[in-house]
Structure 1
């Protein structure tokens, strides 16, 4: 039983973990680049991202109920499509989300102490890795506090902006970017919806997973979509499309434009808390996928150890924390949204393909096809640098898999 985790999370805990990942730094950072891409079609792009996320969530929940084990789509792809596809999903998730962890840590530093953002980022990684080491229930309690604080800040932003009476400038000529811009904006916004994967990657630690996961995933996704829509409308109401697109701190600028500049520091603290919540959820999800891949020998088997007292994959968590700390200390990964989105879209494309094989039910297969198609389209619409880098990283993973296979066959 050394490598087995304990089931302690209920529906509300799972929802909070998912919200901690979704209602995180994305709501403070993703709106501006998405507005630059989509222009006046920003809300439509948000709807497209939410629709693709729903399809992915539906497929992931069905799979998680069938395979309630740590690892998420790594496990689903392995069981439904074969070992290679499971490995590819796990590779895309671990690499992309490790970069996202570093980006979230740097976001904390950028908001709290811009001149020392790398030092603050490393401290945040160390603190949250220690918190996750204490057990998943402790992590869920911390996530609950962070989510409550962030939702309070976002509610304040929405109320201040919509009640201010300030009207932002309307769309200017050329603010529409066409269908491609809409899809690119949706691809960037998808980054913010991907947090529900944390619920499925924690499948081995959820009580009654056949009921809990299918309930928790849509609840968390629905709340996140409503929050994002309300915040987007509020920011657009006072900044307008072009003002939002130009902003580097859109929600802080929004409360300033609404006549409440004194709230900007509160919003910045909220952004830092949101990034901390995302980082905590990411460390949980990545470490569980590392655990699953280590069990199967795709990563060093020592990483599959589970702490006897805390019931967490402690070596996997420490390894993930160490890598993220190095990246946070040495790199500037604020532009990692596109790269992370590419990896996660590949991950969910494999999830939808896996869900298609579950049964012949029309609804399940239709949602899986829609989700798979949406993932492919949004991945192709991302900025070229993100798509090229993501493809190169996937190619490296395929090469590693092939070399390992040849070495094994030669033994």
Structure 2
């Protein structure tokens, strides 16, 4: 449920427009490519989680398997990418919940409000995750039904138009749509909080990813069937427009409530998660030590969370949704690239760790060795084919972090 709530958030309500702009009718092919890369990433993440049942995700795995610099690169890429994800979630919430002209101020207000909630020590639990998943799935069911019984649909594009945008357009759509899959990393960070993590975490990741891929495929077909590639590319709230174009006006509020619930729930949890990652990095002196302060009364990482929240508010005020999604995907794909390197070079498929991994996750030797290579190449290719501004911004910010750590270490 935590994995589903993390993935069935803002992404499924927002990613169709930028993906359609990049690939047109080929966005479903991009979805398959993104799902394949996500599966490879999930496999490597699960192996590492089985070998290292600790909190921290790839930041902790990279430090343990490859050394502090690799861990820092993964952690900083995660912070960069997920901070942009927060901005995209706030913008998605505003696109569905606010009238035209008020969307950016409403998005900034939502960030500041949830920042205040997070500073009070309120975080999403698995029980709340179940409620949010039910709300989101209910709204997506309405979208699928509207797409099936639409009055005057645009119709699915001809098969010959699927690759009309070319391989580059499809790969760029895949990179953008990867934004909607990235939540399964949150499951891997629960290594210290679940029973039998070597078994539970890999299974949770795999089940959540399969369910999400099925849901996304159904919703993607509905979007293309009702709006067509051009209509999807021009939409600010694609799923609400699907319901409206299908003549289901009375169901529009259900979709908007689902989008708002998914976006705000994921935003609240992610603000907390990124703030705590910054706290962990500050404690290891990978970020300025001042960010390691913890509120003595509430036990929350107040300075780290405030820094993340204010940064998100600035991004919301300056970025558009496509830019935020591209920036986020660049950072998160680099994060998973480190996970694959950790599997390949860190030796998690040798010795005792290999026994746990091999028997629980990937019985075949080809999967143990080939999937990390395929996943690493997939991550790098998708980063390279994202919109140039997103790539330059994402890689540039990661590089600035690396240089900053070098300066801090030398001092």
TM-score range, shorter chain: 0.7 to 0.9
Report how many aligned residue pairs link the two structures: 391
- Residues 78 and 307 of structure 1: CA distance in aligned 2, closer, same or farther (over 3 Å): same
Give the whole-Å Cα distance in 1 for the aligned partners of 2:120 and 2:126: 11
Aligned equivalent of 2:147: 161
Q: Which moved more, 1:312-321 or 1:20-29?
A: 312-321
Q: Specify whether residues 325 and 247 from structure 1 end up closer, same or farther in structure 2 by C-alpha distance, changes over 3 A only.
A: closer
- Correspondence 1:30 to 2:18: no
Q: Paired residue for 1:225?
A: 213
The Cα shift of 1:134 comes to 6.1
SS in 2 for 1:204: coil
Q: State whether residues 21 and 279 of structure 1, in contact with CA within 8 Å, keep that contact through their aligned partners in structure 2.
A: no
3-state SS in 1 of match to 2:192 = helix
Question: In the alignment, which residue of structure 1 is the partner of 2:400?
Answer: 396
Q: What SS class does the counterpart of residue 102 from structure 2 fall into?
A: helix
Cα distance change, pair 308–84 in 1 and its aligned pair in 2 (3 A): same
Structure 2 match to 1:104? 89
| CA–CA distance in structure 2, aligned partners of residues 284 and 222 of structure 1 | 26
Query: Structure 2 vs 1, CA of residues 185 and 106 (structure 1 numbering), >3 Å: closer, same or farther?
Result: closer
How far apart, in 2, do the equivalents of 1:120 and 1:217 lie? 33
**Quick check: 1:125–1:325 contact (8 Å CA) kept in 2?**
yes
Q: Tell me how far 1:217 sits from its aligned partner.
A: 1.1
Residue 336 of structure 2 corresponds to residue 332 of structure 1: no
Q: The residue matched to 2:13 in structure 1 has which SS?
A: helix
* Distance (whole Å) between structure 2 residues aligned to residue 252 and residue 138 of structure 1: 26
Summarize the alignment of residues 56-135 of structure 1 with structure 2, pairs less than 5 Å apart. 56-114=41-99, 115-132=101-118
- Residues 336-375 of structure 1: matches in 2 within 5 Å? 336-356=324-344, 357=346, 358-360=348-350, 362=365, 363-375=367-379
Aligned to 1:4: none
Contact 1:64/1:213 (<8 A) preserved? yes
- Residue 400 of structure 1 deviates from its aligned partner by 0.8
Task: Name the CA distance, whole Å, in 2 between partners of 1:345 and 1:321.
Answer: 22
Is the Cα contact below 8 Å between 1:201 and 1:289 reproduced in 2? no
| Partners of 2:96 and 2:240 within 8 A in 1 | no
Q: 2:104 and 2:62 mapped to 1: Cα distance?
A: 36
CA–CA distance in structure 2, aligned partners of residues 304 and 207 of structure 1: 29
Kept in 1, the 8 Å contact 2:124–2:269? The answer is: no
Distance 2:407 2:292 in 1: 22
SS in 2 for 1:336: helix
Superposition deviation, residue 187 in structure 1: 0.6
List gaps (5 residues or longer) in structure 2. 355-364
Structure 1: which 5+ residue stretches go unaligned? Answer: 1-14
Query: Would you say the 8 A contact 2:243–2:249 is kept in 1?
Result: yes
Cα distance, 1:174 vs structure 2: 6.1
In 2 relative to 1, CA 311–140 (structure 1 residues): closer, same or farther, beyond 3 Å? farther
Query: Structure 1 246/63 Cα, relative in aligned 2: closer, same or farther at 3 Å?
Result: same
Please identify, of 64-73 and 179-188, the stretch whose mean Cα deviation from structure 2 is larger.
64-73
SS of residue matched to 1:164 = coil
For the pair 1:211 / 2:207, whether they are aligned, the reply is no
Relative distance call for 1:381 and 1:400 in structure 2 (3 A) is same
Partner Cα separation in structure 1 for residue 8 and residue 241 of structure 2: 19
> What SS is found at the alignment partner of 2:349?
coil
Q: Paired residue for 2:131?
A: 145
Question: For the Cα contact (< 8 Å) 2:14–2:92, is it kept in 1?
Answer: no
Deviation at 1:130, TM superposition (A): 4.9
Name the CA distance, whole Å, in 2 between partners of 1:70 and 1:316: 18
Distance change >3 Å, CA 202–CA 257, structure 1 → 2:
same
In structure 2, what is the equivalent of residue 405 of structure 1?
409
Greater Cα shift, 378-387 or 295-304: 295-304
Q: Give yes or no for contact 1:71–1:291 (8 Å, CA) kept in 2.
A: no
Cα RMSD of the aligned pairs, angstroms, is: 2.5
